[in-house]
Amino acid sequence: MLRWFDRKHEAAAPPQPEGLVGARVPRHSGAWAELRKRLQAEPGLRIIDTGYTSPANINYLTSLGHSVFLADLVVDAYTEDWRTGADEDGNPIWNVEGYLDHALHLSGRTYDVVLLWTALDYLPEPILAPLVAHLFESMNPGGQVMAFFHTRTQGEDVIRFRYHLTPGDDVQMQMTQQFPIQRAFTNRSIERLFTGWSGHRQFLAKDSVSEVIITR
């Protein structure tokens, strides 16, 4: 469920939860370098940051004058029982509306930036398209989603990380609670998933994770 922080609430940011383990490893991020320019130039934006609570993210974003709303989409998908049964082929039926209301209870607010990270790689398939549609309806025109997508489903590169923002061009990766990766993405599959959005810009990376900024 969303938790809200702005400059007034900065000191109340909770400590690092037990779901984060190990050292933070820097990773150059072209997408973050680009998005940071907007965040530094336009104070007063509403931002959704997905993943375990990151005091570093809260403090950095609120110091720039933004409001931050936290939503741990992957953990919420797997730690609550959103399955309501099975269809005739044995596939689980998901209470998608219930999940979205729980994980992204927006109370009529609209947003300017979503730090989606790798959440879409790990979410169950029935949730995927409705979540993207929900974000579209909840974002202001010109709003942007920064998302990372795995391009393979095996190997060390599919480890799930929490990403922490820095004032430079790096983000810091820290191991977090693991869930099985559900899919890899290609440019074409990203375009299909975000059909109806005004555009997307991809940033090259040296590992098997593609960085994309999608514009509402």
pLDDT in tens, 128-143: 999 999 999 999 999 9
pLDDT score for 206: 75
pLDDT band at 174, cuts 50/70/90?
Answer: very high
pLDDT digits (tens, 9 = 90+) for 62-96: 999 999 999 999 999 988 778 888 888 888 888 99
What does the pLDDT read at residue 21? 80
**What domains appear along the chain, each with residue ranges and CATH number?**
3-215 (3.40.50.150)
10 or 40: which carries more pLDDT confidence? 40
Could you list the beta-strand ranges (E) of the chain.
Answer: 3-5, 25-28, 46-50, 67-71, 83-86, 92-94, 111-117, 139-150, 161-165, 170-175, 199-203, 209-215
Work out the mean pLDDT of the chain and round it to a whole number.
Answer: 89
Q: Is the pLDDT of residue 151 over 80?
A: yes
Which range is least confidently modeled, 9-23, 132-146, 158-172? 9-23
Mean pLDDT calculated for residue range 25-49: 96
Task: Give residue 16's pLDDT.
Answer: 46
Task: Note the pLDDT of residue 5.
Answer: 66
Residue 11 has what pLDDT?
A: 42
The H-assigned helical ranges of the chain are 30-41, 55-63, 73-79, 96-103, 119-122, 125-138, 187-193
Residue 208 has pLDDT above 90, yes or no: no
- Residue predicted with more confidence, 11 or 195: 195
Could you give the 3-state DSSP secondary structure of residue 6? coil
- pLDDT of residue 13 exceeding 80: no
pLDDT-derived band at 205, boundaries 50, 70, 90: confident
Angle, helices 125-138 vs 96-103, to 10°: value is: 50
Residue 159 has pLDDT above 70, yes or no: yes
Provide the pLDDT for residue 73: 94
